[in-house]
Structure 1
């Protein structure tokens, strides 16, 4: 696990398809696709988010708390070849992420309630998760599913991502369910634009993105999907 926290800026915007096409066309000439994007320039992300018995992650986000954290298991392209348990940390305007690779068997054990697989003293993040699950009853809450189109720019170490087709798995907790009936959590015309950077965004990128003309998005994908649950399936917070 990478124990060194690398805090970065993160900006989020909700844009429509027309804005996406315009900005994406500009990015094609100014930035490169992420090396993991493949021939299509996209990849699929599915995350299983966790929260404790008090729904702390949900309520802190809704309450605008500046310092908070979230836990999730993330897979790519619906495969089990690369699985990470991640902790996303927010401090004011900065974000950082810690992650630890885990196996499919470990995921299956966690979902089945066998949290002892996380009691690994030489892996601090897994041990932290073990204690959160044991003492704070941290448990799976919702699957968040979407397609990501990522661009990177070395100047300023900027990462620009377009997240499309945001869907929620409702009460499902099986990340690998090939028959998962994920349903749209937002209008399919809407796309989430995220911009992450270290110290600065080069002026030519800022001009191409036209950030000043966009409306920042306050709700996270996790909150959007949890609120969908509450609205559509009578989830009791």
Structure 2
């Protein structure tokens, strides 16, 4: 593992609306919600995922490659106050994330195909992204859109999230498009439960989650949403 990165455990499950309500009710009596939630206890996440000319991130995930990475730009609540370019890294059974903030102007320049701000940045991640863009033709592929309900626990540095209404954007790479056309990416109103923690998951949280009775899944939101995409290159949008 790279010493500069913090690797965490990540477990993912599909849950039905009934399972969600049961687990959520238990969690509300045990741990707190994330401080960034709105009045409904949720916030909206929209990400623009990138892949290279060979669709490496997609094929490595589908091929079961354990050590891999993918890149995305992420915003919250459809606003531009917080914009991050992120690299999510998978190493064996662990995950890590590196991210750097973008200004709206930097975002717009990247979307217009002007990458000089990345190349001249003093931030290693942005320089790496510039290299991926110029050498491996890293380009936007698909928008992933959902509502997140997050819970946190300092004991074990646990973060539990329910990701609802997973949708994918069609024929657009504009994160801020107010008229973005999206379609539902999961059937049967399924919700994605994610459990992230450092070294251990406290026993009382394990008891509340009862993970052994859930449908563990490995498909990423990126892969789920890519199946709806008919085109694979930047120029096709």
TM bracket (short chain) = over 0.9
**TM superposition score normalised by structure 1:** 0.95
Query: C-alpha root-mean-square deviation of aligned residues, in Å?
Result: 1.3
Alignment deviations for residues 127-152 of structure 1 (CA, whole Å, 9 cap, x no partner): 00001000000000000000000000
* Equivalent position SS for 1:228: coil
8 Å Cα contact 1:141-1:171 kept in structure 2: no
CA 1:75–1:155 in structure 2 vs 1: closer, same or farther (change >3 Å)?
Answer: same
| Aligned partners of 1:14 and 1:190 also within 8 Å | yes
Instruction: Provide the C-alpha distance between the structure 2 equivalents of 1:189 and 1:179, rounded to a whole number of angstroms.
Output: 23
5+ residue gaps, structure 2, are none
SS at match of 1:174: coil
* Displacement of 1:117: 1.9
Q: Is the 8 A contact 2:42 2:149 kept in 1?
A: yes
Structure 2 equivalent of residue 235 of structure 1: 231
CA displacement at 1:38 relative to structure 2: 2.4
Deviation at 1:71, TM superposition (A): 0.2
1:74 aligned onto 2:70: no
Q: Helix, strand or coil for the counterpart of 1:162?
A: strand
Distance in 2 (CA, whole Å) between partners of 1:195 and 1:100 is: 23
CA distance in 2 between counterparts of 1:74 and 1:121 reads 19
- Tell me if the contact between 1:9 and 1:93 (Cα under 8 Å) persists in the aligned partners: yes
The 4+ residue runs of structure 1 with deviation greater than 6 A are none
Residues 46 and 236 of structure 1, relative CA distance in 2, 3 Å threshold: closer
Q: State the Cα distance separating 1:172 from its structure 2 match.
A: 1.0
Aligned with 2:25: secondary structure? helix
